[in-house]
Amino acid sequence: MQFSQRGFVLLLPSALNLTLVIIMEPILNAIMARADDPELAIGGFAISFGLIGLIALPQLRVQHLTLIFLQDVYSLRVLRVFVIRLAIIASVITLIIGITPLSNFIFGAIFSTDAALQKEAKTSFFWMMPVPALMIIKMYLYGIALRIERPKIVWIGLITNVLSICVCAISLSFLGIQGSQIAAISVVFANLIEFCLMLISLVLISLNLEQSNKNLKLTQLELTKFFTPLLFVAFLPAFSKPFILALVSHAPESKLSLAAFPLAMGIFTFFTFLVGGLTPTILALMNQGEDLRKITRFSLRIGFVSSLFVLLVVWIPSFSNFLINDLIGVSGRLYQLTLVALKVLSVLPLIMVIEQLFAAALLQYKQVKSLVFVNIGRLVSLVIFALLISYLTLWNGAIVGAVAVLTTLSVEAILAVAFGYQYYFKLQLQEE
């Protein structure tokens, strides 16, 4: 098998696993765009789903934790207890936000939404309260499936999730369900079906694990010490989404922008989802002894192809009209704001590739502290942008959101290069 083929075989499941939920957003947005009040539905779901993603943050690292520590039946039990505790904590946080007066502060004061949008976001969030726990446990099951070399289970789970969301959302729209409830109920239904199917699949097969390993004394404390810095690194980027949505909600044309910006991000992610899975793919290829120059060229080709798709959409009117207007069903001012935000985002794919190449070099040398500083720099740049936004009064919310994403990811890339260039070139010298 040629190098590009091997790289793509690794890249595709990694990318889908990490970005599936985001990729599905344009499909859900397309269905909600045909509601009686599309801006209200899309904006309400974007706010609530951003918060759900923040609460479910541990799921981004649970799979790595499982792959590293799962060795025998004993470690399986210890991991299970740890993951269940994470799911319980996430569920408690979700309940506190969903059923206490804290929801009025979050959906009212922080996002500064009007009464209708606040109610829409709260309703959507209420429906999705089971999602954080399901996502955390589901990623633990993904880790088990990969650890025992059963990738088919992962593919079955991913395909089930996509089909369940589409079938449920279309069915609800035909039944006359309105607003963000379509997307919220579909997300809950899909995650529940996927969770049950994966759990049944793992129960029915043999895990091929040793009964015990007396030399392995895995404890909850050891897992916590390992998991905490990983969670911190994951938290800083995840915090950006609700923070940026809050900036958008305070900018001019906030109601339209709270629909246009998520639409633009969804379309952008759909065409660049392969870029999102590059880091684990680069690491896997490095550990298989592949030449770093080949890995770099492969990564840059993925970036160029992704850039080409986005540029075709935003700069060729026939493509823009077909995708945004005809397929998604967005028109008028909402169409204009979505397209403007996409134009700002269109320069990002290659920047994202460069960041992941140097971040992978840092991970290869276990320089986790450097990654913490990189992500702190990203957060600081976002805060500085927020402080400066009051001087950019002519920008509408969609442009504010897109420029905030461009700024933070560019700063992250610059810092990744600054911290990682010496390790990147060390890897090259080792191969010579």
The helix/strand/coil state of 28 is helix
Residues 280 and 421 in one domain: yes
pLDDT confidence band for 152 (50 / 70 / 90)? confident
Mean pLDDT along residues 412-422: 92
Q: Which residue has the higher pLDDT, 219 or 132?
A: 132
Mean pLDDT along residues 397-424: 90
**HSE (side-chain half, CA atoms, 13 Å) at 94:** 27
Answer yes or no: is 25 within a domain.
Answer: no
Q: Read off the pTM.
A: 0.70
Per-residue CA distances from 236 to 129, 309, 404 (Å): 22, 29, 14
Task: Tell me which amino acid residue 386 is.
Answer: A
Answer yes or no: is 28 within a domain.
Answer: no
pLDDT confidence band for 418 (50 / 70 / 90)? very high
Mean pLDDT along residues 244-248: 81
Per-residue CA distances from 34 to 42, 167, 199, 257, 270 (Å): 10, 16, 35, 17, 20
pLDDT confidence band for 119 (50 / 70 / 90)? confident
Q: In the predicted model, what is the mean pLDDT of the chain? A: 81
**Quick check: 210 pLDDT over 60?**
no
End-to-end CA distance of the chain: 24
Answer yes or no: is 286 within a domain.
Answer: yes
Give residue 166's pLDDT.
Answer: 87
**Quick check: 230 pLDDT over 80?**
no
Residues 44 and 188 in one domain: yes
H/E element, 7: helix 3-32
Q: Which residue has the higher pLDDT, 390 or 100?
A: 100
Answer yes or no: is 93 within a domain.
Answer: yes
Residues 255 and 368 in one domain: yes
Per-residue CA distances from 378 to 175, 262, 400 (Å): 44, 20, 16
**Quick check: 65 pLDDT over 90?**
no
For residues 334 and 328, what is the distance between their CA atoms, to the nearest angstrom?
Answer: 12
Most confident of 91-100, 115-124, 141-150, 213-222: 91-100
**Quick check: 429 pLDDT over 80?**
no
Give residue 285's pLDDT.
Answer: 73
Residues 2 and 132 in one domain: no
Most confident of 20-24, 66-70, 151-155: 151-155
DSSP letter string over 98-137? HHSTHHHIIIIIIT---HHHHHHHHHHHHHTTTHHHHHHH
**Quick check: 392 pLDDT over 70?**
no
Residues 13 and 37 in one domain: no
Residues 11 and 88 in one domain: no
Per-residue CA distances from 395 to 85, 162, 386, 392, 400 (Å): 44, 36, 13, 6, 6
pLDDT digits (tens, 9 = 90+) for 254-298: 778 888 888 888 888 888 888 877 877 777 677 667 788 888 999
**Residues with Cβ < 8 Å from 117, sequence gap 6 or more?**
40, 43, 44, 47, 255, 258
Residue 404 belongs to what domain range?
Answer: 1-18+251-432
Residues 70 and 204 in one domain: yes
Q: Which residue has the higher pLDDT, 171 or 73?
A: 171
> Residue with structure tokens 């140097």?
358
In this structure, of 40-49, 383-392, 399-408, the range with the lowest mean pLDDT score is 383-392
Answer yes or no: is 144 within a domain.
Answer: yes
**Quick check: 132 pLDDT over 90?**
yes
Residues 182 and 270 in one domain: no
Answer yes or no: is 341 within a domain.
Answer: yes
Contact 383, 411 (CB under 8 A): no
Answer yes or no: is 225 within a domain.
Answer: no
The count of domains in the chain is 2
Residues 37 and 86 in one domain: yes
For residues 115 and 44, what is the distance between their CA atoms, to the nearest angstrom?
Answer: 11
Answer yes or no: is 244 within a domain.
Answer: no
pLDDT confidence band for 216 (50 / 70 / 90)? low
For residues 44 and 38, what is the distance between their CA atoms, to the nearest angstrom?
Answer: 10
Residues 307 and 206 in one domain: no
Give residue 415's pLDDT.
Answer: 94
Residues 301 and 400 in one domain: yes
Residues 100 and 208 in one domain: yes
Buried b (16+ CB within 10 A) or exposed e, 366-383: ebeebbeebbebbbebbe
